[in-house]
Structure 1
Amino acid sequence: MTPEKRPAEDEEEQEAKKLKEDSPSSVTEALEDDRSGDSEGDESDSAASSDPEKKRLSLPEDRGTLVYTGCTQWEYIGRRNLKGITSMMHYVPRRISALKGIRVAFVTSHCSAAHSIIITEEGKAMSLGRNEKGQLGVGDTENRTGVMSMDTMSEFTVVSAAVGRNHTLLLTDRGSVFACGDNKSGQCGTGSTNAIIHTPCRISFKEAKISKVACGAEFSMIIDKKGYLYSFGLPEYGQLGHNTDGKFFITSNKLSYQHERIPRRVPIFVERSKDGHPTPVTDVQIVDFACGSNHTVAIDAKKRAFSWGFGGYGRLGHAEPKDEFIPRLIKFFDGHNRGVEKIYCGSTFTIGISALGIFLWGQTRRTGEANMYPKPLQDLCGWDVRAVGCSATSVVVAADESVISWGPSPTYGELGLGENIKSSTQPKEVKALEGAHVMQVSCGMGHTVMLVRDDTDKDKEILEKLKEITL
């Protein structure tokens, strides 16, 4: 196991290369490619619906109002040498004034990220948060304080997205992926390691239509409609699943990494015997996956769970802190009625929902004992958990008509528990959202974004009680 860098405390590296903005024609060319690729399928709706390669992806069925809790002083989050502004720390859930009247279909952030992506019910992408590496996709690296529209993506219908520490992936209804932001490790998948990609650029991948995307801190994952998994970016801890950490020496004392600049298929999945001997697992069709800062967990069609990457604090669930360079079966969930249905990753921990209940492995505190293998979250027993958001150490759960959160100090308001309860090591209900039906939850560094149902009069009454953030 190699020492892991804590994302919240790392100083940003000085860029060695001159910043280079992508040509605006990249989006135009991608649009033409997509339209030409769909031309045959557009001749007949019935033909398109029968062929999974030509069937369009859809936005999630959920529609609602975006609710935000946490810090809106993006440059402050995770930086010890900056002083926070009290008015920009929101310890209670708030609506965002700029999104008034805009119904949202999808929201996402990441445990290592200080930015979020919002997708409206029309499939338009908007961004919010830190923009030091161009991750907001608006054509520059200037500090942005409000909700930004990704104008260069206006010709596309965006159905999903994922973010890493400083980069963003956008998935369109045609199964194409666009990326922007930090690319020094190749995590944008465009075939280069240009330091920054200022506006969304199509990734270098034409093998098949892509159905889902996810990001780690400095790497990315995609799956195609056949269930094949591909990864690109930084391989430092084996998180790409290619049986290597990519290390090589430039000189006798200078270490570097062989970055994956374009998506590369993860070829094999294994299970290990007690003596460590690996045996290939056959018939693996990935249906879902999640990435922490430096690890990945995936679920296949048989509800088997595999994990790989940085093994510290037991976040891989193998009862040992060893790094895994190949996707390894989590034996705890292998067996009849033990399959995993949903998976969520924080920086140093993982949460899985199975028929047996809700389990956590890894470490959610900065000190103390870690769970080296999956252990049940007894406090959530009996709750119908709908969605989970995982931050560096905080957890926010949407269950029944409530939101439950916990996390140790320091926090930035991402728990939404109020001024008087800024942190909690035990799960507590978020009183401001009592009775609210929260459909999606995603945590970033120091903030949480939620999609709250707004269909009924009761829903609207609960939302009206929340104050607005003016950005």
Structure 2
Amino acid sequence: MSCEGESRQLQLLFSWGANSYGQLGLGSSNDELLPQPVTHFPDNKRVITCITGGGGHSAAVTDAGELYVCGQNKDGQLGLNHTDNVPHFSFCSALRSIRVSKVSCGWDFTLILTDNGQVLSCGSNAFSQLGIPQVKSCSVPEPVQTLHEKVTDVAAGLRHTLALTESGQIYQWGLGMASHAKRFSCGNPISPFFTAKEPCQIPGLANIRGKKVIAGSYHSVALTDLGELYVWGSNKHGQLLQKEPFGLQPQKIKSHFFLEEMIQSAWSGWTHLIAQTETGKVFTWGRSDYGQLGRKSVQDESDREEVLLQEYCTEKSLKPPACIQCLTGAQQHMKSVILQGITFHLQPISM
């Protein structure tokens, strides 16, 4: 790729892990235990600005606003107007005239955020996760029509969806969390956003201004402009840092868990979370039996409030090497850019 200034850089993409559907983008369906260079990426002159993955598919956005996809496609989640699996990154030609700013993958669906704040979705709609109630699935990205305000962020859970608007309002739709919510509601009505087939504003967050939305398998997270985290949904592995097994309404995580520091950014795997504070400290909590918290804990985090989450990294040791473009959680592991069962690593090379 060409960069502004006197130096030029090339960006190499590596992937490894599960690859049953070609989600590593290597041109095959063989699992890989060691990092392998992705040589089939169509345009190696572009910088990858966003990369993510779902149950068996992967998606990447370049600095030109182009979307590339690979992997499982039985529900049309690649948006290529067919349902064949694709073992190498392919350009989503349906978006040729649209500039993409972000992509987020659920289990079998894909969310696409455009530069002008429009949300598109494709793939399975079995749980109404696309926000397009009249279809069972989409093999070409279709707009979510009922979001009437510019959207600045999206997040896909296992089978539910979050969106953040320009005014800081947060919406959820999809039935992925509905059965869990009903189970723990003791027969009481549950909030409409758990069963919404189209974007539904979350009442408990109406008075806050969102900065970022994050989704796990059955939990949701909102980061506010004040550096606070609100969480709701499943607490099976201590993701919510509270006593209840399921959060039926958004609850703010108490600041003492983060040494009274504001949260700068946050990420989530299927069942664990990561938060970075304003001074660069990183905290991890939730499921830990596969070492996904990056520290010695081998049991899920306790939800006892008197137990302070141990600091994982100091500001000095956290500063990422130049090769790491983003930090993302995955199902059971965490390294570089990590997806559902696979890992991607971006390596810039100065020339």
Residue 387 (structure 1) aligned with residue 257 (structure 2) = no
Q: Which residue of 2 aligns with 1:403?
A: 282
Amino acid at match of 2:292: E
Amino acid at match of 2:98: A
Mapped partners of 2:63, 2:11: distance in 1 = 9
SS at match of 2:129: coil
Output aligned runs, 1:238-257, within 5 Å.
238-244=128-134, 246=135
Residue 190 (structure 1) aligned with residue 80 (structure 2) = yes
Mapped partners of 2:139, 2:286: distance in 1 = 36
Within the candidate set 41, 60, 83, 1:170 is matched to 60
TM-score normalised by structure 2 residue count? 0.78
Give the C-alpha shift of residue 405 in structure 1.
Answer: 1.5
Q: Is the 8 A contact 1:413 1:447 kept in 2?
A: yes
Q: Is the 8 A contact 2:119 2:143 kept in 1?
A: yes
- Aligned residues with identical type, % of pairs: 21
- The change in CA–CA distance for 1:428 and 1:178 in structure 2 (over 3 A counts) is same
Residue 447 (structure 1) aligned with residue 328 (structure 2) = no
Mapped partners of 1:300, 1:225: distance in 2 = 13
- The change in CA–CA distance for 1:381 and 1:362 in structure 2 (over 3 A counts) is farther
Within the candidate set 312, 317, 338, 1:436 is matched to 317
Q: Which has more helix, going by share of residues?
A: 1
Equivalenced residues, count = 302
Output aligned runs, 1:21-420, within 5 Å.
122-153=10-41, 154-194=44-84, 196-203=85-92, 204-244=94-134, 246=135, 258-269=136-147, 282=148, 284-310=149-175, 311-312=177-178, 313-314=180-181, 319=191, 322-335=194-207, 338-355=208-225, 357-365=228-236, 369-378=245-254, 379-380=257-258, 382-399=260-277, 400-408=279-287, 411-418=289-296
Mapped partners of 2:235, 2:126: distance in 1 = 22
Q: Is the 8 A contact 1:388 1:398 kept in 2?
A: yes
Give the C-alpha shift of residue 390 in structure 1.
Answer: 1.4
Mapped partners of 2:104, 2:313: distance in 1 = 30
Within the candidate set 301, 304, 308, 1:424 is matched to 301
Give the C-alpha shift of residue 385 in structure 1.
Answer: 1.9
Moved more, 362-371 or 199-208: 362-371
- The change in CA–CA distance for 1:131 and 1:299 in structure 2 (over 3 A counts) is same
Q: Larger Rg: 1 or 2?
A: 1
TM-score normalised by structure 1 residue count? 0.59
Question: Deviations for 1:99-145, whole angstroms, at most 9, x for unmatched residues?
Answer: xxxxxxxxxxxxxxxxxxxxxx7443322321111000000011211
Q: Is the 8 A contact 1:205 1:262 kept in 2?
A: no
Q: Is the 8 A contact 2:109 2:123 kept in 1?
A: yes
Q: Is the 8 A contact 1:231 1:265 kept in 2?
A: yes
Amino acid at match of 2:162: V
Mapped partners of 2:211, 2:236: distance in 1 = 25
List alignment gaps of at least 5 residues for structure 2. 183-189, 239-243, 321-325, 338-351
Question: Deviations for 1:335-392, whole angstroms, at most 9, x for unmatched residues?
Answer: 4xx2111111111111111145211111131696211111011123722323322122
Moved more, 286-295 or 125-134: 125-134
Q: Is the 8 A contact 2:223 2:265 kept in 1?
A: no
Runs of 4+ in 1 over 6 A off after TM superposition: none
Q: Is the 8 A contact 1:130 1:144 kept in 2?
A: yes
Mapped partners of 1:431, 1:242: distance in 2 = 41
Mapped partners of 1:158, 1:432: distance in 2 = 27
Amino acid at match of 2:35: V
Amino acid at match of 1:187: Q
List alignment gaps of at least 5 residues for structure 1. 1-55, 60-120, 247-257, 270-281, 452-471
Give the C-alpha shift of residue 314 in structure 1.
Answer: 4.9
Amino acid at match of 1:290: A
- The change in CA–CA distance for 1:320 and 1:224 in structure 2 (over 3 A counts) is closer
Q: Is the 8 A contact 1:350 1:362 kept in 2?
A: yes
Amino acid at match of 1:201: S
Q: Which residue of 2 aligns with 1:18?
A: none
Q: Is the 8 A contact 2:193 2:202 kept in 1?
A: no
Question: Deviations for 1:422-445, whole angstroms, at most 9, x for unmatched residues?
Answer: 432255224566742356431111
